[in-house]
Structure 1
Amino acid sequence: MATEPTSADVAQFCEITSLDPMLDRNLVVSALKSNTSLDQLIGEYYENSDAFRRKYTWDDTAFGAGREGEPNNTGIAFNIEAPDNAVIHGVTPPPDNGFYGPSAGAPSRPPSRTNNRSPLGAPSSAEQYEEDLQRAMAESKKAVGYDPQEAGVTDTGTNAPYFGPANRSDYDQNNWAMVTTATTSSQAVVDGDPTPSARKRDEGAPAFLIYKPNARSASQRLGSVLTILHEIPLARNVLLQAGEQAASYGHNSEWWKGQPIYAPHVLAAIQQGEHQWAENSKPDFHEELHRLMAFLDLTERSYGSVEAMADLIPKSNFSLERQFYDTLDEKTDVEVLKPLTHLARPLSLQTLEPTQEPTRFAFLNFELTKSQYEQTKTLYDAWNWIVWHESMTWAEVQPNMGMVVLDDMGEVMTVNIDGEDPPEYLEIPEVWYPERYLESRKEEARICQEHLAWVARALYEARSREYELTKWIDPKTDKIHDKGEMLLNTLKEYERHVDYLDGLGRFRELQKLENEDEKQYIRLEDVPCVKTEAEEALAKSAQQVVDRCSWELSQLEETKKRLDWERERLLERQKLLSSTLLTDPDKPGLAKPFTSKKFLLRGIATSQNVTYVCKRAGPALIDIGEAPAPVDQWWRLSYEAGSANPAKAEKYSFDQVMRQVHRETKGPLLVYATEDAMNTPASPLSDALQRFARAENKNFRQELNQETTDEGAQLRNTNMSPISPSKRKYRSGSVDSMATNRASLGNSDTNSRAGDFDSDPFGEGDGTTDTDMTGLAARQSATDTASRNLAEVVRSGKTHNAEQAYNTNPPSILGQQKLSTPTPIDGVEDISRTVTPDGEEQPKGPEMQERAGGGGGSPFMARHSIYGMTHDPRDEQKTIKMMDMEIPDEHQQLQD
């Protein structure tokens, strides 16, 4: 029995979902008692709030319903006979509006034929034809919930109805509005995934993993990390070898969207209603990792979701990418994971001896401060702050300081630029050498740190001298002033004083002239300057200040130029020590050759659903007789929800990648790999993983065919009303169903499968309805074929070689239009759709085949009535073997 949720849980759920704590309390309590986690309930509510309310709202009408769920207002708890509705040839019978949908009728015998007309009894008069036509239209409207139309203006009051033309007074002008009659294409893209044809993988393009917009960890970049690691053969092999290989990886038609695939025993317990959700109920971490690698290997889709994997990673304050590596390290054997990990060993700068136990890591996060990032220009600078932290911070080398060296390095390195305000531009090398940080270079590393410390001190002293030279602090106000600006302002001020005194002496001489015409046309500059003794003294003093300020400014500029020259030389030396020294193995003058491997940049993750990955194409021969040279191609893989074409795979050059990366983010996630990692042969997928990938591709082909079928049906129905109900809406897929009119239409299987729409019983028509029904019959036949194919399991005894199993290009879909079958069209999509490979289906009667055609009683499969079906003990046996599925591929069988 489920435990009663606390008031705090109810209040928390209501606060997150904005539900009313009083009015919706019973709904929230019912949801929390379902043993579902709070995060899943919140996601379920935001995905579809109406479905959430229907699922967890108590409804006791089933206790008063009949056997098949129909309402029973007479007090009788059972019905012996099915309703005797008159049969109109080719018309959908009316529903009974039962609790569980249309009534299936009595299971013991066919409906009474007393009042049913024979199919051969076609209308013999125009009056009878008109009566049947009006009746058929009324039944069709009733089936889709339309009220009968009345002519004129209806009035529900006491006044007698008035039949006549509608006048302006009969309408409220404020009630008119523009509404949409169907979901627009843009809205369809925002609300869900694009059409299957828009999700098809381009030839040669890599598949990638994304987060959906409503995912619970949508801000992380785990999908990008796994996509990049998959394009590194050695990393892919490691992830496939991690953990134990499963005999079966199950199947779920919604797995590519992020739905989990549960273990068979969990599904069996869920089906029996005995399962209590716990940590061990989740899918296996390694199995999910294997599924993702197989998906990226062989999928025909352009993208898939990584949400199922994200749900298996424990939540913490660290990023999801770091938690993934920590979980992988915790659950995986050390030797298996060794190619992805590296050893960091702390040493003493004085003795160069270890001071602490070494630490093995696979993911490195650069969490630098703002001041450190201000001095960081390249990726090597960021590494210096990590491994030479103490000497870089204090700008000196002391005996008690330490450093970190790298040892026992793997083949793949993953780093993340993080911290406080990273620089707008960080130089990211395409080739990175860790030579200077190796334990074998610890002597050179100490010398390099000593030189860097000396350069840092010299730069500090140069900045201090420049500060003292250019700044002046007012002792009264402690305000800092720029000396250059102060000298320039003083110079201009005293120059104005000198000019004023000079002008004053000239003006007095001008006033002494007696000729007014001469005064008017003479220039002031042409008048001699005659000053008094006091004015001469003031002018001389002001001129001395001007001369001194000019000299001080010239000296200041000279000193600044000299300091700038020294600082440029120091910065060049610092760049040589921090970013250039021991980074080029071909540089002449090396004391000893490089021992580290060359790491190549293989991928960059910038944001949630944007990944830059370098895909290695097949080798190409440059000249005849030469060794093949690998060809690398950069791709930009992006998913933009809401656009007409959300999934894009674009080819980029490395220069384009660098420009785009710096536009998109200041904190990229980088993945480097060695040449050995890239040249490692890819290990083949296991038979179970190949079956899983083929089943997934089969499901996608059915989606493609379903899209083609729907488009064809829309073209056939262009002359029909868009709101016209299907004429076979309530007909079962069984030929021998007694819940439909087929029992009254005769016992011909052929006629029953086609719905007897090949002939026109009324002797006339335009052929539109016949074409529509023929298309629906063909769709039903294709669906039956799809069901038979899904129920078959073919265990392949053929082992694929490494190249075939690791072909990351989308497999050929030759003959897809002929061989693939559409998905069911009943509108019910199961969550964990499985097929038992070795469980034989027991024969059933025709009626029970119809009733059990939708699957078992698992809540992760198509939902069925728990009141109208008896428990079959064979269901438990089938459920235990569920999660193994291989959908046979016809063209593969033909090739074999």
Structure 2
Amino acid sequence: METTDSDPDLARALAASMEGSGAHAGDYGAQETGITGTRTSPATSYLQPANPGREYNPQDWALTTTHEIFLDPGPSERKRKPGDPAFLRPANSGSNVATLLTVLHGIPAARESMLARDCLDRDYGHDDQWWNGQQIRILRVTNTSDEETGEPEITEGVIEVQRLMAFLDGTMRAYGSVESLTMIPGYQEHNQTLSLSAFFRSWIGAIQKATLEPAEGKYGRTFFSEATQCIRGATDEALMNREAFQIMDLVGPTVGEATLYDMLDSVVFPADDETDVFVKFAPVICAQIRPPDGGMFNGCPIAIPAVLYPDRYTQAWAEPMREVRRKIEEQRNIIAEIELQEDKLKRVQVSEGTYHELQSVPQPRELLSILVEHYAAEESRKAPTGIANGVESESSAILLAMLEGVIHQLDTKLEALAKKKEEAYGALVNLRSSLTSPEDLDPSLPPLTRYTLRGVSPESSTIFTLLQSSDSEEGQTSTGPSTSSPGEQWWCINWAPRAPATGWETTPTLNYDVKKVTEEKVMHAIKTTGEGTILLVYANDEALNLGEGTDSSLPGPLQTFVDRDNAAFKAELQPNSPGRKRPNDWLEAEDEGADSSPGAGFSPKKISSSRSSATLGNATPEVSRKNSLSGNEIEMMEGIGSGSSQPTTGGDDTIGQQVDLSQPGGGEMQERGGISPVAKAFHLDSKGRGRDLDQDMKDVDSEHIEFADSVEKRV
């Protein structure tokens, strides 16, 4: 048996355990006894009842986060109607990224920037469920070290945004999803108020990595705004504090703010006269308005202009705006003085110490009225005849007349003050709105830059976007004045769940509505609807007109990506397509197929694999690509990966093992002894020869039905 002499570790442990009782002394500290932590100790300072007056974000505090699940409509209900715009449905996280991208796609300069034509990938892959949020996984060579290689690298942060822009361009589906984008590291942001800032920060960082250009480069400049703060008259660059931004986060409004210009004034203009703040606005201005302290809006609390002229905040307009700001401050002082005089006439003036004691005392006007009523009642009584009573009655009448005269003077003075304050407020409103319209503008001043409202989202389930009409004669019809150009049309996209259609279904189905609306209805909706955050997107003429000769068609690789997704959707629209079934029908069908199928493992799910991402992706002819990693040339055989079927070993962005994608087991390419008809539609025949897409689509329609019939006969 070992003793403490032979085991030094055991001896130290015993010594430490006895040290707390004073039985032995050592160099290892006393053992703690009793309860670890008290009610006031740091160990339990956060363990206390929740504050009922505070809003807690479940994404920050919950042990597990959840979101409500809704079923998508059937394929035929998800088909895009001719002439209708496609859109991106709201994200599960509740952020406005989907709304932002839907609106930005309708702005030519924003669309071009996010397509990033100089940063195209060879192949954008495919997955049948990408539209529904499933990520597309492709084998890539990437630099995983922290050291900068100095070479451009196109990352998934650029590629996924390109996919979304291409999808909105030419999809046959009514809507898509941004879930695959929000799963990319850097784009994930649980705080909804910061989600748009996180998106722009991550996208611009990815663009910089792909182009090696600064943030205000070729693509980033579309959204790159910059605010400069300096001491008045300073010319030294070192004394100027510059801050770039892509979205304006406006919290409020506060008391006295009635328009968007008022909120911008509070943010841009400094409180002192010795500091200047200038803003250089991007061609596209994005802003979000949110209530303070996590509250809610019941309609937008301020007036939103359909046309914005932000020049008053630029450096070229600094001198004219200084004079306007001086006059605004004068009017504010006048209003403050009037309110002080009103307060003296309306309230009993008491010392600070006796304020609470005299709160129940009637105010001067009310007190005088009580006295008048009292003496009037006394006068109306018929007093007995007598000299004394006659004198008393005469005195009461004189006092009553004096009191009535004082009340009249008080009312007259209050009315005069109210009129002066109304005039001062009118002058203040005019000053605040000055230099916000080209009408009656001084010719000596610089011209104003017009920004039109291109999109607004008063709540997460509703998008209003202004788009070019497909027919120039189909512009919006409006009974009132409209600020949009001829040939433009406002669209309302509403996204909401609907109740189950039958008693067998317990999960509600998502419902959407895409319709044309007038500008009046858009402005009315802004005033009457809303919740936590209101998103606004403005664009100037530079962002809306790219110039003649600009090629706006999709680049080849992105057009191929859209064609593949459309072909998959066509297959999904076939009468016997598994994609037409509801999720609960899938489960029932699989259970039945597991027992009744003639072959091992045969189930309806296997039928769907004939058009699955594995078939579409892994059947692609192999492409030999040379990639550079740490200076070494690596020749890699790679194909289109998709979903979980891609046999990688190194993760999403690392090199996996070399896979022979031409083998039948690699992606079920040789399903039931023949090549998948959808694979043929993608020009993926066994010899890799290109085929005519229109003819292939006809083959899809006929061969898919024959394939389904053969399956039914075998079952």
**What TM-score do the two structures reach when normalised by structure 1?**
0.54
Residue 329 (structure 1) shift = 2.8
Q: Secondary structure at the match of 2:80?
A: coil
Change (3 A) 1:710 1:838: closer
1:410 pairs with 2:266: no
Change (3 A) 1:193 1:552: same
Residue identity opposite 1:671 in structure 2: V
Change (3 A) 1:548 1:835: farther
Name which of 73, 79, 82 aligns with 1:200.
79
CA distance in 2, matches of 1:862, 1:589: 63
Name which of 180, 188, 203 aligns with 1:308.
180
Residue identity opposite 1:232 in structure 2: I
Residue 620 (structure 1) shift = 2.9
Partner of 2:368: 487
Structure 1 stretches of 5 or more lacking a match?
1-37, 48-188, 268-281, 392-396, 506-529, 623-627, 713-721, 733-738, 742-775, 788-822, 825-829, 841-854, 864-872
Partner of 1:675: 541
Q: Secondary structure at the match of 1:390?
A: coil
CA distance in 2, matches of 1:540, 1:310: 87
Partner of 1:426: 302
How many residues in Structure 1 have an aligned counterpart in Structure 2? Answer: 538
Residue 208 (structure 1) shift = 1.1
CA offsets 1:436-492 (integer angstroms, 9 cap, x no match): 112111111111111111111111111111111211145652427432222222221
Name which of 301, 314, 337 aligns with 1:461.
337
Change (3 A) 1:482 1:723: same
Residue 543 (structure 1) shift = 2.6
Superposed counterparts of 1:3-402, under 5 Å: 191-211=70-90, 215=92, 217=93, 219-241=94-116, 244-265=119-140, 284-312=156-184, 313-315=187-189, 318-332=193-207, 333=213, 334=215, 335-336=217-218, 337-349=220-232, 355-368=239-252, 373-391=254-272, 397=273, 401-402=274-275
Over the matched positions of the two proteins, sequence identity in percent amounts to: 22
Change (3 A) 1:727 1:411: closer
Residue identity opposite 1:837 in structure 2: T
Partner of 2:644: 860
CA distance in 2, matches of 1:711, 1:357: 58
Name which of 694, 705, 709 aligns with 1:892.
694
Residue 894 (structure 1) shift = 7.8
Partner of 1:75: none
CA offsets 1:1-39 (integer angstroms, 9 cap, x no match): xxxxxxxxxxxxxxxxxxxxxxxxxxxxxxxxxxxxx99
Residue identity opposite 1:390 in structure 2: A
CA distance in 1, matches of 2:246, 2:202: 11
CA offsets 1:378-401 (integer angstroms, 9 cap, x no match): 11111111111315xxxxx4xxx3
Change (3 A) 1:531 1:694: farther
Residue 554 (structure 1) shift = 1.4
CA distance in 2, matches of 1:836, 1:244: 25
CA distance in 2, matches of 1:740, 1:365: 55
Partner of 1:540: 394
Change (3 A) 1:448 1:540: same
Change (3 A) 1:583 1:191: closer
CA distance in 2, matches of 1:492, 1:433: 57
Change (3 A) 1:572 1:351: farther
Residue identity opposite 1:363 in structure 2: I
Partner of 2:556: 687
Higher-Rg member (1/2): 1
Q: Secondary structure at the match of 1:287?
A: helix
Name which of 586, 592, 600 aligns with 2:444.
592
CA distance in 2, matches of 1:671, 1:300: 26
Q: Secondary structure at the match of 1:705?
A: coil
- The answer to whether the Cα contact below 8 Å between 2:614 and 2:642 also exists between their aligned partners in 1 is no
Change (3 A) 1:338 1:266: closer
1:662 pairs with 2:527: yes
Partner of 1:181: none
Superposed counterparts of 1:717-736, under 5 Å: 729-732=596-599
Change (3 A) 1:558 1:858: closer
Residue identity opposite 2:620 in structure 1: P
CA distance in 2, matches of 1:342, 1:724: 57
Residue identity opposite 1:290 in structure 2: Q
Partner of 1:834: 617
Partner of 1:183: none
- The answer to whether the Cα contact below 8 Å between 1:340 and 1:411 also exists between their aligned partners in 2 is yes
- The answer to whether the Cα contact below 8 Å between 2:334 and 2:424 also exists between their aligned partners in 1 is yes
1:609 pairs with 2:461: yes
Change (3 A) 1:474 1:450: closer
Residue 225 (structure 1) shift = 0.4
CA distance in 2, matches of 1:342, 1:437: 12
Change (3 A) 1:360 1:302: same
Q: Secondary structure at the match of 1:381?
A: helix
Residue 668 (structure 1) shift = 1.4
Residue identity opposite 2:512 in structure 1: A
CA distance in 1, matches of 2:390, 2:235: 75
- The answer to whether the Cα contact below 8 Å between 1:458 and 1:570 also exists between their aligned partners in 2 is yes
CA offsets 1:789-820 (integer angstroms, 9 cap, x no match): xxxxxxxxxxxxxxxxxxxxxxxxxxxxxxxx
Residue 706 (structure 1) shift = 4.0
- The answer to whether the Cα contact below 8 Å between 1:345 and 1:404 also exists between their aligned partners in 2 is yes
Partner of 2:151: none
- The answer to whether the Cα contact below 8 Å between 1:211 and 1:307 also exists between their aligned partners in 2 is no
- The answer to whether the Cα contact below 8 Å between 2:126 and 2:641 also exists between their aligned partners in 1 is no
- The answer to whether the Cα contact below 8 Å between 2:300 and 2:527 also exists between their aligned partners in 1 is yes
Change (3 A) 1:243 1:878: farther
CA offsets 1:356-395 (integer angstroms, 9 cap, x no match): 2322221111124x6xx2211111111111111315xxxx
- The answer to whether the Cα contact below 8 Å between 2:376 and 2:400 also exists between their aligned partners in 1 is yes
Change (3 A) 1:544 1:308: farther
CA distance in 1, matches of 2:106, 2:590: 49
Partner of 1:83: none
Partner of 1:701: 570
Change (3 A) 1:561 1:890: farther
- The answer to whether the Cα contact below 8 Å between 1:414 and 1:672 also exists between their aligned partners in 2 is yes
Q: Secondary structure at the match of 2:119?
A: coil
